[in-house]
Amino acid sequence: MEEGHIFAQIVKTNMIILLYGKDTYRLKEKIEKIIDEYKKKNSSGLNIKFLGEKETFKDITDEDKQTSMFDEKRLIIVKNVFSSESLKNELAKNYEKISTSDNIFIFYQEGEIKKKEKLFELFSKDKAQEFAPLSGKKLFSWIKNEFIKNGAEADDEAVYKLGEIGGEDLWRIKNEVDKLSLYKKKITKKDVEDFVKKDVNINIFQTIEAIAEKNKEKAIFLFYDHLEKGDNPLYILSMIAYQFRNLIVVRDLIERNYSYETIKSKSGLHPFVFRKVYYQANKFSLESLKEIYNNLFLTDLKIKTGQIDPVLAIHMLLFNS
């Protein structure tokens, strides 16, 4: 299926599509693009329904029967339909009924699918799109483009090094791109070597938790523990800044009264990271998060302009938080 025209093709055909693959980052990104396209064409945006992998076939048909008060087609998104044998079999038996619905169905599967599955075979080639892991030139091009989106630039050696460390995990690579882009706007191989760990052994969530609990002693202890493990103090500061930026995004969405699933989608965070960030965001006010983030920015500025020693600067930051 041609990239960029998925929504138009769904509407043209029987309004049903399957997205699947091991690359869950680009899979999630595609679903978000479809949702954005739907919202552009449907003013209310209130007819989007997410169904989890524990739903039954009856749950799906019940949603299909719901009528829209705005006379719009409903967008029904069903997660991991191939993970449930009963749902998979029921859907295969009743595929024609679903495929001729007036509503729009997006089925997606996180991971590979056996191509000989009866249900998979029912999806024609123009209704299924696989998101296989990126590698080689495609991966390096993707990384370069992510830096550009952040207003940064990475040389080829930096891109290759980041791709080598991150491998197929675009969630991690994206997080590293965001952190490096906060640190500086022209990224070299040395920056990647200094700031991206092959083994992610820094548990910055504990430090954030200590700050939330106003436990200065614990926060400072954890900071020096990171130093003893060989972590660069500027790397630690960039990690803390990155997490507080995530906290601000999530806290802002919480205060706008978005649902948990909507916040999860809009945050763009890996599901594991999001759970931790969402939990911690509830321990801060938006104002306090912005104040801490501003202090992080000022600390970073003082370090980079040579006004203060990095270790002392971060120690004082944690002590005054």
| pLDDT tens string 160-185 | 999 988 888 898 898 889 889 987 88
Enumerate the domain spans of the chain. 6-130, 136-195, 204-320
Measured distance CA(118)–CA(113) in Å, rounded = 11
Q: Which pLDDT does position 44 carry in this prediction? A: 56
Measured distance CA(161)–CA(196) in Å, rounded = 10
Q: Which pLDDT does position 151 carry in this prediction? A: 94
Distance of CA 146 to the CA centre of its chain: 13
Residues in the chain: 321
Q: Which residues contact 260 (CB under 8 A, 6 or more apart)?
A: 278
Fold of 204-320: Zinc Finger, Delta Prime; domain 3 (1.20.272)
Q: To which CATH superfamily is domain 6-130 assigned? A: P-loop containing nucleotide triphosphate hydrolases (3.40.50.300)
Measured distance CA(157)–CA(217) in Å, rounded = 40
Measured distance CA(33)–CA(182) in Å, rounded = 25
Q: Which residues of the chain have pLDDT under 50?
A: 1-4, 11, 13, 200-202
Q: Which pLDDT does position 139 carry in this prediction? A: 94
Q: Which pLDDT does position 134 carry in this prediction? A: 92
Q: Which of 319, 181, 304, 173 minimizes the C-alpha distance to 241?
A: 181
Q: Which pLDDT does position 1 carry in this prediction? A: 47
Segment 182-197, tens digit of pLDDT: 878 899 999 998 888 7
C-beta neighbour count of 256 within 10 angstroms: 10
**DSSP 8-state assignment for residue 230:** T
Measured distance CA(157)–CA(97) in Å, rounded = 53
- CA dihedral defined by 312, 318, 320, 321, rounded to 10 degrees? 160
Q: Which pLDDT does position 49 carry in this prediction? A: 81
Residue ranges with strand state E in 147-238: 153-154, 186-187
Q: Which pLDDT does position 126 carry in this prediction? A: 61
Measured distance CA(227)–CA(61) in Å, rounded = 56
CATH (residue range 136-195):
1.10.8.60
